Copies of this chain bind each other. A is one copy, B any other.
Amino acid sequence: MMTEHPQRRTTRQRTAIGEFLAHAGDFRTAQQIHEQLRMGGDRVGLATVYRTLQSMAEGGEVDTVRTADGESAYRRCTTSGHHHHLVCRSCGRTEEIMAKAVEAWAATIAAQHGFTDVTHDVELYGLCARCGATSTR
């Protein structure tokens, strides 16, 4: 299959981004990461943040989602395999979801319609317990 990562050098910038993601609990956009690294004193170029996140995503080191307004957000998940997310629309808190049932459903539906090589996109959005209570006004 030849899917070896050629050779990824461990640079100061790549390390900084990796550690940032390790501590941030929820999804962050490239712009947010860039700004926060700057504020933290790390000198990292915006282009580098984009490039690094992209390569991390390819390598499966981070997960990606699209925000409502189309921006890409990244997160280092603790679950290693394929999974989905339950994201708080208000504070961003994220729960990782594994659902064999959904995987099976997707495969079945696809087969019924004659589709092959199927992938899926499944994300849940809502208000977490804390935010839901607050917004009760």
Contacts and interface: CB of A to CB of B under 8 A. Distances in A.
Nearest to A121: B123
B101 A105 contact: yes
Oligomer: number of copies: 2
A127 B115 contact: yes
A121 B121 CA distance: 7
Given A122-B121, A123-B120, A129 B114 contact: yes
Interface residues on A, range: 20 to 34
Contact of A102 (B105, B113, B123): B105
Given A70-B70, A101-B105, A118 B113 contact: no
A119 interface: yes
Interface string A110-137: 1001111111111111111100100000
A120 B125 contact: yes
A125 B121 CA distance: 8
Contacts of A102: 102, 105
A95 B114 CA distance: 11
B124 A110 contact: yes
A39 interface: no
A2 interface: no
A66 interface: yes
